[in-house]
Amino acid sequence: MPAPLHPLTSLTAACCTAAVTTAAGSWPLSVAVSAAAAVLAVRAGAGRRVLTAAAAVLLPLGLSLLMLHGLFFPEGRTVLAAWGPARVTAEGLAFALEAGTRTGACVLVLLLFSFTVSAPDLVAALNVRGLPPQFSFVLASALTLLPAVAGRLGAIRTAQESRGLVLGGGALARLAAVRVQMVPLVLGLLEESGHRAQALEARGFGRPGPRTSYREVPDPPAQRRLRAVLLVLAAAAVALRLGASWPAAGLL
């Protein structure tokens, strides 16, 4: 079995894939990247979470792209349909497709990374590289925020159910339940963060000076080389794209 991916390798891979896809600006490539990310997410057992989160981000975005560029695209020449000032043009649809698939690929790749990376490994890897611990703590808190919020929400719901709150029923009942849970959720998180800050300070978290890491994350040389190659590829793709966009500069 190959060595598990070092968190920096998966971070580099995700960022470089997003950069190359954006630079290439070709919808078949974007679709292929999205599909690959979806397959990897399913294989990593995070398919449902990644796809749900991606849908939450991409559906409204896709709709707005269609509305904006599909209906109002000034450069559009091939008119497919028109209602007053709104014209559906082939060019507009193509642009919307291009932009939509490109954004979709980037979102999926980055979500795949954030839902599959081990937060403790990432924090340890960043600490070893001398990043301020406050930074990696914020990063780790962000990555673990959803589970933490879900946990607290679960505790509040448990308490409320134990006192006669019946969940389920229609959309209105659910909305009412969300309302009674939000206030204690936010207040609880604020109160907890205050206590947490005190405890962290007492355990030497704010100290200046060097730090060590208990957790060891193996970083095989092959993965370091892979990261370098990925970065070079991404830089090349961006340079090519810039060259293609400004032919005059490219000729000089």
Partner 1 sequence: MTGAGPAAAVGTHDMLAARINSFSFHGDAAPALRNVEFGVRAGTLTAVLGGSGSGKTTLGKLLAGWHRPGHSGTLAGWLELAGERLEFRGGGDDPRINPAGWSDRVGYVPQDAAAMLSTVRSTVAEELAFGLENRGTPRPDMLREVGRIADLTGLAAFLDRDPATLSGGELRRLAIACAVITEPQVLVLDEPLASLDAAGVIVVRDLIARLTKAGTAVVVLSQSADGLARSAARWLVLDGGTAAAGGRPRELLRSPELARSGVVLHAVTHTAPAVRAGLPAGAAPVLELDGLGFCYPGAGGAAGERPLLRDLHLRVRPGEVVAITGPNGAGKSTLLRHLNGLLQPLAGEVRVQGRSIASLPTGRVAAAVGLLFQHPRDQLFERTVLREVGFGLRRLRGREAGAAADAALDAVGLSGEAGTHPAELPASKQRLLALATALARRPAVLALDEPTVGLDRHGLAVLRRAIDAEVARGAAVILVTHDPLFASSTAHRVLVLEGGALREP
Interface residue list for partner 1 (CB under 8 A): 118-120, 123, 127, 133, 137, 140-141, 144, 148, 151, 155-156, 158-168, 181, 183-184, 187-188, 191-192, 195-196, 198-207, 209-216
Q: How far apart are CB 162 and partner 1 at their closest, in Å?
A: 5
Closer residue to partner 1 in complex, CB, 22/160: 160
Q: How far apart are CB 140 and partner 1 at their closest, in Å?
A: 4
Q: How far apart are CB 69 and partner 1 at their closest, in Å?
A: 42
- H helices within the chain, ranges in order? 7-24, 27-43, 47-65, 71, 90-116, 119-128, 133-162, 171-202, 221-245, 247-251
**Are 104 and 54 within 8 A, CB to CB?**
yes
Closer residue to partner 1 in complex, CB, 146/155: 155
Q: How far apart are CB 175 and partner 1 at their closest, in Å?
A: 16
Closer residue to partner 1 in complex, CB, 175/212: 212
Q: How far apart are CB 136 and partner 1 at their closest, in Å?
A: 8
The single-letter code of the amino acid at 147 is P
**Are 16 and 88 within 8 A, CB to CB?**
no
- H helices within 129-216, ranges in order? 133-162, 171-202
Backbone CA torsion sign across 55, 56, 59, 62: negative
Closer residue to partner 1 in complex, CB, 73/115: 115
Closer residue to partner 1 in complex, CB, 138/242: 138
Closer residue to partner 1 in complex, CB, 56/191: 191
- Residue 215 carries which DSSP code? S
Q: How far apart are CB 190 and partner 1 at their closest, in Å?
A: 10
Q: Each residue of 97-117: b (16+ CB within 10 Å) or e?
A: bbbbbbbbbbbbbbbbbbbbb
